Amino acid sequence: MVDALLLDLSGVLYDGDEVVPGAREAVRRVQASGLPVRFITNTSRKTRSRLLAQLGQLGFHVEDEQLFTAVDAARQWLRQRSLRPFCLVHRDIVGEFDEFEQNDPDAVLIADAAEDFNYRNLNRAFQLCLAGAPLLGVGYNRYFKSGDQMLMDVGAFIRAIEFAAGVEATIVGKPGTEFFNQVIASTTAAPARALMVGDDVFGDVEGALEAGIPACLVRTGKYRAGDEERVAGDFQVVDSVVEAVELALA
């Protein structure tokens, strides 16, 4: 048995409004075992409170301290440095950054802004970074799944600003090693004794491996045939979170 289990949310526990078959029972089983469980996500279209409410409505009991989001990590990073961010984020989470003075910004924060990824906003981010503002990214994902569609995620837009301004972004969500380190630090487990379970072979699996955490790729959510061949390293591949929990408890 591993010493801690890290679970991605969308694509692992649920897909849209549908719970992955057997996921509720699998999570209850691992929680009943006493194994520390952490739920981690790069989702940046929903507030923390909305995520917790959604999980509850879907039948998952998640304590506040068990949930780690990239949006929370971004706020902490900005607070520690007393920065004034230009927030290119989704309209549904704009309020999550109300604590920050945003006039005369000296930093750039990019999350999943959806339709607000327009030239005006991207060019503003570019100009600030060109002038020396640090670039902060909530994750570096390539795409995500919504319903039956694959949609571009924030990574491509962060890469555009990096390329144009000649800068390198700090990534506070997956696949950033610091984010994984924060999650592991909330448990008593060593990285090598934990297991990360996700449907994103880059953000979840490759990111975990680079942080020294064993990983398991599930064939649900945005998994596509052949994903397991797209990154280097040894990791498990299973049909769903049900089998992943079996591995964790074995």
Note the pLDDT tens digit of each residue in 163-185.
999 999 999 999 999 999 999 99
Predicted confidence at residue 45, as pLDDT, reads 87
What whole-number distance in Å separates Cα of residue 182 and Cα of residue 178? Answer: 6
- Give the pLDDT band (50/70/90) at residue 157: very high
- Give the pLDDT band (50/70/90) at residue 90: very high
pLDDT at residue 146 greater than cutoff 80: no
Write down the pTM of the prediction. Answer: 0.88
Average pLDDT over residues 101-115: 95
Q: What is the mean pLDDT of the chain?
A: 95
Please state the φ and ψ torsions of residue 67, each to the nearest 5 degrees: -100, 125
Angle, alpha carbons 179-182-186 (nearest 5°): 145
Predicted confidence at residue 162, as pLDDT, reads 98
Predicted confidence at residue 97, as pLDDT, reads 96
Average pLDDT over residues 138-146: 84
Residue the block writes with tokens 């969500």 = 173
pLDDT at residue 219 greater than cutoff 80: yes
- 171 beta partners: 137
How buried is residue 193: exposed, middle or buried, by Cβ count under 10 Å (0-12/13-18/19+)?
middle
What whole-number distance in Å separates Cα of residue 160 and Cα of residue 98? Answer: 26
Note the pLDDT tens digit of each residue in 111-124.
999 999 999 999 99
Task: Output the CA torsion sign for 57, 60, 61, 67.
Answer: negative
Angle, alpha carbons 54-57-58 (nearest 5°): 90
Query: What percent of the chain clears pLDDT 70, i.e. is strictly above it?
Result: 100
Residue the block writes with tokens 């996921």 = 23
* Interacting residues of 35 by C-beta distance below 8 A, sequence separation 6+: 1, 2, 3, 4, 5, 248, 249
What whole-number distance in Å separates Cα of residue 160 and Cα of residue 88? Answer: 14
Predicted confidence at residue 52, as pLDDT, reads 96
Instruction: Indicate the helix (H) or strand (E) that contains 51.
Output: helix 48-57
* Interacting residues of 79 by C-beta distance below 8 A, sequence separation 6+: 99
What whole-number distance in Å separates Cα of residue 139 and Cα of residue 172? Answer: 6
Note the pLDDT tens digit of each residue in 40-64.
999 888 999 999 999 999 999 999 9
Note the pLDDT tens digit of each residue in 15-30.
988 999 999 999 999 9
Q: Please give the domain boundaries of the chain with CATH numbers for all domains.
A: 4-42+174-249 (3.40.50.1000), 73-171 (3.40.50.1000)
Average pLDDT over residues 125-136: 98
